[in-house]
A and B are shown apart, each in its own frame.
Chain A
């Protein structure tokens, strides 16, 4: 069947109206490609059937007498109301079963294993090795190699969430008490967005994440850098050391930075937060200003989220800790 580049044509035609970062109509992965193919087939067929039915209705009202008499007959009712739908739906059923079976085929072993746990309202991401041991933990961001199968284990220990990256695959829920597994197979490098797709409370609307698909060597480089603990700030850098001091006092109870004494697990792991693509589960760009803004006023940005506002820190402390976090690349 055609690969995802086939859909570039209709996608380009439609993309005047919106961006393609979080769109099911711009498939960049195998599963999303199959879903998109199904969508186009059904859209074309559905549009044709709709126009046909409306035409018949119009003819039933406005058409010539002979045609109207034919439309009023039992034969028409049986053909249009039973025979035609049975034929079309039988075909559709078999077609859809074939697509579903193709999507579930998981022949090759996974190149990468990731466990994603839904929190309120952010994503806890753990990369695992082949035995299921944790390599490292990060948050709100997933990077995967292109053209290789990636297995995800989706879980939640609070409410029901749903993991959805429309460019790559359909969604799968994260249900407390269950571990749902899905396979991603990206076919195009790039940066995409995902969003929680099951209403999970106050800030469900602001539970997004970044997913970056990298070429193989780039992915390996990133993986290795993530496994390393945070580099300590140099002796010459007073502000960074002050920042680290503030961090250990104010933030370590909830956050972890490997390589320091901070080992809190309530909030996202911040070991390499400086290198992330966004902050606040996809809400803000990542720079010193937004870091400071989030720390001081997260309750204004994402009211009700689990982090209190640290507006009691002085301006100097805030700048220091923000610079420190920016340095955690």
Chain B
């Protein structure tokens, strides 16, 4: 069949999906990092972790941009001509904003101290 497959929604959702992956990664990484003080200094320490998490953010943003770029000529055609690309673009931009916002804290806030 030449009909567009439902799988087209995957690249369409690349922004939110990548945001989710980034979120899981940073949350799990910090959770494990803080739960294992014995490992600190072995492969990552508090100072380095800020760089690691920021690098993860840059990578996530790059993935979102890359997927959007590759997909730009492959959206299904619709009567509302820009529907798929525009919505995908808006989702990607919002996801990038969310990734930036959730990476900012690594530069301000101590990793493991609690209130």
What chain B residues lie within 8 Å of A86 (beta carbons)?
97
Contact check, A101 vs B110: say whether CB atoms are below 8 A apart: yes
A180: interface (CB < 8 Å):
yes
Once A98-B108, A101-B108 are accepted as A-B contacts, the answer to whether A90 and B114 lie under 8 Å apart by CB is no
A128: interface (CB < 8 Å):
no
Number of interface residues of B (CB under 8 A): 10
When A and B form their complex, which 10 residue pairs have the shortest distance between CB atoms, in order from nearest? Answer: A97-B108, A104-B113, A101-B108, A101-B109, A97-B105, A97-B109, A100-B109, A93-B101, A104-B110, A172-B115
Number of interface residues of A (CB under 8 A): 16
Chain B residue at minimum C-beta to C-beta distance from A170:
B115
Ordered by A's residue number, 6 sampled pairs between the chains whose C-beta atoms are within 8 Å are A86-B97, A94-B104, A100-B115, A101-B110, A104-B110, A181-B114
Contact check, A103 vs B115: say whether CB atoms are below 8 A apart: yes
What chain A residues lie within 8 Å of B97 (beta carbons)?
86
Q: Please, how many angstroms separate the alpha-carbon atoms of A89 and B102 in the complex?
A: 12
Contact check, B110 vs A97: say whether CB atoms are below 8 A apart: no
Once A86-B97, A97-B109 are accepted as A-B contacts, the answer to whether A104 and B115 lie under 8 Å apart by CB is yes
Chain B residue at minimum C-beta to C-beta distance from A90:
B101
Q: Which of B59-115 touch A at CB < 8 Å?
A: 97, 101, 104-105, 108-110, 113-115
A182: interface (CB < 8 Å):
yes
* Chain A residues with a Cβ under 8 A of chain B: 86, 89-90, 93-94, 97-98, 100-101, 103-104, 170, 172, 180-182
Q: Please, how many angstroms separate the alpha-carbon atoms of A103 and B104 in the complex?
A: 18
Q: Please, how many angstroms separate the alpha-carbon atoms of A90 and B115 in the complex?
A: 23
Contact check, A97 vs B104: say whether CB atoms are below 8 A apart: yes
Interface of A is mostly: helix
Contact check, A182 vs B115: say whether CB atoms are below 8 A apart: yes
Task: Please name 4 further chain A to chain B contacts, defined as beta carbons within 8 Å, in addition to the given A93-B101, A97-B108, A101-B109, sorted by A numbering.
Answer: A94-B104, A97-B105, A100-B109, A104-B110
Most buried by A among B97, B101, B110, B115: B115
What chain B residues lie within 8 Å of A100 (beta carbons)?
108-109, 115
CB B92 to nearest CB in A, in angstroms, measures 14
Q: Please, how many angstroms separate the alpha-carbon atoms of A181 and B113 in the complex?
A: 9
Residue A93 contacts which of B104, B110, B114 (CB distance < 8 angstroms)?
Answer: B104
CB B54 to nearest CB in A, in angstroms, measures 15
Q: Please, how many angstroms separate the alpha-carbon atoms of A180 and B115 in the complex?
A: 8
CB A313 to nearest CB in B, in angstroms, measures 46
What chain A residues lie within 8 Å of B114 (beta carbons)?
180-181
Chain A residue at minimum C-beta to C-beta distance from B105:
A97
CB B25 to nearest CB in A, in angstroms, measures 20
Chain B residue at minimum C-beta to C-beta distance from A97:
B108
Q: Please, how many angstroms separate the alpha-carbon atoms of A101 and B97 in the complex?
A: 22
What chain A residues lie within 8 Å of B109 (beta carbons)?
97, 100-101, 104
Chain A residue at minimum C-beta to C-beta distance from B102:
A93
Q: Please, how many angstroms separate the alpha-carbon atoms of A185 and B108 in the complex?
A: 22
Chain B residue at minimum C-beta to C-beta distance from A183:
B115
What chain A residues lie within 8 Å of B115 (beta carbons)?
100, 103-104, 170, 172, 182
Chain B residue at minimum C-beta to C-beta distance from A86:
B97
Q: Please, how many angstroms separate the alpha-carbon atoms of A103 and B113 in the complex?
A: 11
Chain A residue at minimum C-beta to C-beta distance from B114:
A180
CB A60 to nearest CB in B, in angstroms, measures 23
Q: Please, how many angstroms separate the alpha-carbon atoms of A223 and B109 in the complex?
A: 36
Q: Please, how many angstroms separate the alpha-carbon atoms of A127 and B16 in the complex?
A: 50
What chain B residues lie within 8 Å of A104 (beta carbons)?
109-110, 113, 115
